[in-house]
Structure 1
Amino acid sequence: MEYFIPKSAVIFEEEIKKSRFITYVHHTEGLAQAKSFWQEIKALHPNARHHCWAAVAAQPNNSQEFGFSDDGEPAGTAGKPMLNALLGSGIGEISAVVVRYYGGILLGTGGLVRAYGNGVQQALNQLEVVLKVERGRYLLDCDYAQANWIAQLCEKYNVVINAQDFQANVRFEFGVSDDKLASFRRELTDRSAGRLILKAIE
């Protein structure tokens, strides 16, 4: 699976009716990391009234790794619109924390939804991303004579050589994306007359 992840952190700040909203967007891998990022921002702003957060902490379609909190704002006015903005971006492994310094003027539920959702959207507009390709890990043992054409095959199928060990024969450790696995395995089998076996590393 391929998806975009944040390349670097972004901060966006605005004032709405005397309340200060500071949005932090960051790369986080997994909900545990997302929650510790939230704790970091809370420690940075101990006097703020609210520290709301949302995360799409793994693949963009993995709902097990979604999370959000309104942190004292009326239910549904902060975390959910923030999460919706993240989901709309299609980016994975991403967290947003919005810090609010209350300015004394109530914004109403609609105003809060707009403030929190828009803060994340504005931060996303500034965000640089990189493509992440998820790859399974595989081992392959081959003769020295086969190593060259196997390396060429890796280029053809965008297979990453994570490690290679030259002993009595050659041992490769590969990173192979799911969509290339069947073709890569088939060509290895065909060209070696069935002698080369790709073994998955659990």
Structure 2
Amino acid sequence: MTANYPVPSSSCEVCYEIKKSRFIAFATFADTRESAMQRLAEVKQKYPDARHHCWAYQFGNPKSAASAAMSDDGEPSGTAGKPILNVLQHKNVGDIMIIVTRYFGGVKLGAGGLVRAYSAAAQMAMEALKTEQQVARELLELSCGFGDEQLVRHWLSQHDGVVENIEYRDQVVMTIALPLEHSALFRAYAASIGGQIINDN
């Protein structure tokens, strides 16, 4: 079960310029380190000639993040990743990553200038970002007859449920992620078709 909190509903990209340096901030959904590193690889591919790709992420409920990390990617220590993470920690958004790509313009900004620039770029990205409420879901394992699989799938499609995994044994065993608000309704439906919820407490 997961608590409700806002997450990015789409990605966004903004550009902040100061003293000829360009800071391109990209905010996106990421809920695992693997997905975050994949987003980073995509940005590096998009801007292969940029000097720095600095980033920060936080996963899970923003009030008590399950995991958070950052990188200065060659900028002076504490001038890039930390300011980006600070912006994230002051916004009530979870499962998020911000990558700020920098093109150096020839004028040094100094440590304080870099902190302000990375903070400003991350702040702009957060202001442009669209979010949606993450729906609290419950994972259930249902065992049912082969003839009932399509009926169950149809019911789930009408109640925002998702089949996460399926195994064909002597019966069909489906792992289902279902919004908590439909949990009791689904239990009644499963019983009505002779299905059994295996992992029910």
TM-score (norm 1): 0.70
**Pair 67,176 (structure 1): closer, same or farther in 2 beyond 3 Å:** same
Percent identity between matched residues is 37
- Superposition pairs for residues 157-172 of structure 1, below 5 Å? none
In the TM superposition, 1:64-143 aligns within 5 A as 64-138=66-140
Could you tell me how far 1:175 is from its partner in structure 2? Answer: 2.3
User: How far 1:29 moved relative to its partner?
Assistant: 2.2
* Runs of 4+ in structure 1 over 6 Å off: none
1:175 maps to: 178
Does structure 1 retain, via aligned residues, the 8 Å contact 2:22–2:103?
A: yes
Is contact 1:5-1:131 (8 Å) kept? Answer: yes
CA RMSD between the two structures = 3.1
Number of aligned residues: 168
Query: Partner of 2:6: helix, strand, or coil?
Result: strand
Give 1:126 deviation, angstroms.
Answer: 1.1
Segments of structure 2 that go 5 or more residues without pairing to the other structure are: 144-158, 164-173, 189-195
Deviations 1:4-44 (A, max 9, x none): 11111111102111101111111112111111111111121
Normalised TM-score (structure 2): 0.71
User: What's the offset of the Cα at 1:96?
Assistant: 0.7
Question: How far apart are the structure 2 equivalents of 1:180 and 1:83?
Answer: 36
CA gap 1:176/1:126 in 2 versus in 1, 3 angstroms: closer
Equivalent position amino acid for 1:66 in 2: A
**Shift of the alpha carbon at 1:54?**
0.7
- Output the amino acid matched with 2:69: G
Note the residue ranges of structure 1 that are not aligned, 5 or more in a row.
Answer: 142-158, 164-170, 189-196
Q: What is the deviation of 1:199?
A: 4.7
For residues 117-170 of structure 1, the C-alpha deviation after alignment (integer angstroms, 9 at most, x for no partner) is 1111111111111111231223579xxxxxxxxxxxxxxxxx86557xxxxxxx
